[in-house]
Amino acid sequence: MAKIILTGDRPTGRLHLGHYVGSLRRRVELQNSGEFDKIFIMIADAQALTDNFDNPGKIRDNIIEVALDYLSAGLDPEKVNIFIQSEVTELTELTFYYMNLVTLSRLERNPTVKTEIQMRNFETSIPVGFLNYPISQASDITAFKATTVPVGDDQLPMIEQAREIVRKFNSTYGEVLVEPDALLPNNSVCSRLPGTDGKAKMSKSLGNCIYLSDTPEDISKKVMSMFTDPNHLKVSDPGSLEGNTVFTYLDAFCKDEHFEKYCPDYKNLQEMKDHYQRGGLGDVKVKRLLINVLEDELAPIRARRAEYEKNIKGVYDILKKGTDAAKKEAAQTLSEVKAAMKINYFEDPSLLEGWQEKYNG
């Protein structure tokens, strides 16, 4: 069976380091692994509207920002199809048929949706479109017959919902759809990078993000004010690694080579951590290392972004081409779905013949 990836992001803001370690970096590796027959990366504008319906301008503006972030992170339009969800109208049509296969109480039990409802104060009045978005996400995945969906662990309930819909569809109408598997980040640091303030999650609304498009000055300022160990007051004090954001970021980004290059007093991160815990290592030295490590990772991304920013029309063309390819794929699945449900009235001559026979013998 073909190995197919589909994944995506809601375009509600520029992408940050949390997105990068949690998914973008992995997508680029998967793209370059050559193991996948097709890769679709979706800018989920329609899903973003389910909780931003009153602010379509924000979503529209961020489509190009997210596309720029994708391309600058190293996604290669020759190898992946980057597309805009709302342009692939077949996805909406699939959603409509899948809605019959899911109960209201099942949607209300979805743990991710439950948390989001609380966060958005939707408790007293939930927009139908919002509650329904796991079904629409199942359409996104199944329209491409995706086998592999690289996501963070918060998305596991969505994949489970998609699998249930696939099973229900296939057992009701015949084998058409493919059950997808989630592909989770390979280590826990990458699953959820904390914000620069040490809070559990990097998030635009908390103002604790380092963006892929940040300048070197932004990064240096943000790292220097990062949360460390509040009890590590003097250099000579023993320091704690628990909840120490600077070390968490080093865990996510640092390689042994970085020590040789930027901090030859230590061979590797473990040696540096040991020294920090013993006492005698100041935060500033650790932060300087982190700035260098982040710069190594972000400088090429920033340079690629600058190139693409000079040619926004080119970025539009990439999105158009990816969207056309995605549309073709989704249309094929939709026609198989309708054939299985026998609602492809004008395409299946046997449907007409059945009536002919009934009334004219």
Task: Please identify, using beta-carbon distances, which residue of 49 and 252 lies nearer to ligand TRP.
Answer: 49
Q: Footprint of ligand TRP on this chain (CB under 6 A)? A: 6-10, 44, 47, 137, 140-141, 149, 151, 155
Min separation Cβ 329 and ligand TRP, Å? 14
Please state the closest distance from residue 330 (CB atom) to ligand TRP, in A: 13
Min dist CB 334 to ligand TRP, Å, is 17
Compute, in degrees rounded to 10, the torsion defined by CA atoms 255, 78, 65, 57: -150
**Least distance from C-beta 314 to ligand TRP, angstroms?**
25
Q: Which is nearer to ligand TRP, 134 or 194 (CB)?
A: 134
Give the nearest distance from C-beta 79 to ligand TRP in angstroms.
18
Rounded to the nearest whole angstrom, what is the least distance from the CB of residue 137 to ligand TRP in the complex? Answer: 4
Q: Which is closer to ligand TRP, CB of 47 or CB of 72?
A: 47
Which residue lies nearer to ligand TRP by CB, 110 or 248? 110
Shortest Å distance, C-beta 170 to ligand TRP: 19
Our CB check for ligand TRP shows the closer of 86 and 208 to be 86
Q: Specify the residue, 137 or 228, whose C-beta has the smaller distance to ligand TRP.
A: 137
**Residue nearest ligand TRP by beta-carbon distance:** 44
d(CA 27, CA 19): 11
Q: How far is the CB of 10 from ligand TRP (least distance, A)?
A: 5
83 vs 259 by CB, closer to ligand TRP = 83
* 128 contact partners, CB below 8 Å, separation of at least 6: none
As a three-state string, the secondary structure of the chain is CCCEEEEEECCCCCCEHHHHHHHHHHHHHHHHHCCCCEEEEEECHHHHHCCCCCCHHHHHHHHHHHHHHHHHHCCCCCCCEEEEHHHCCHHHHHHHHHHHHCCHHHHHHCHHHHHHHHHCCCCCCCCHHHHCHHHHHHHHHHCCCCCEEECCHHHHHHHHHHHHHHHHHHHHHCCCCCCCEEECCCCHHHHCCCCCCCCCCCCHHHCCCCECCCCHHHHHHHHHCCCCCCCCCCCCCCCCCCCCHHHHHHHHHCCHHHHHHHCCCCCCHHHHHHHHHHCCCCHHHHHHHHHHHHHHHHHHHHHHHHHHHCCHHHHHHHHHHHHHHHHHHHHHHHHHHHHHCCCCCCCCHHHHHHHHHHHHC
| Rg for the chain, CA atoms, rounded | 24
How many CB atoms within 10 Å of residue 357?
A: 10
Q: Which is nearer to ligand TRP, 47 or 208 (CB)?
A: 47
Q: 75 vs 263, which CB is nearer to ligand TRP?
A: 75
Q: How far is the CB of 182 from ligand TRP (least distance, A)?
A: 9
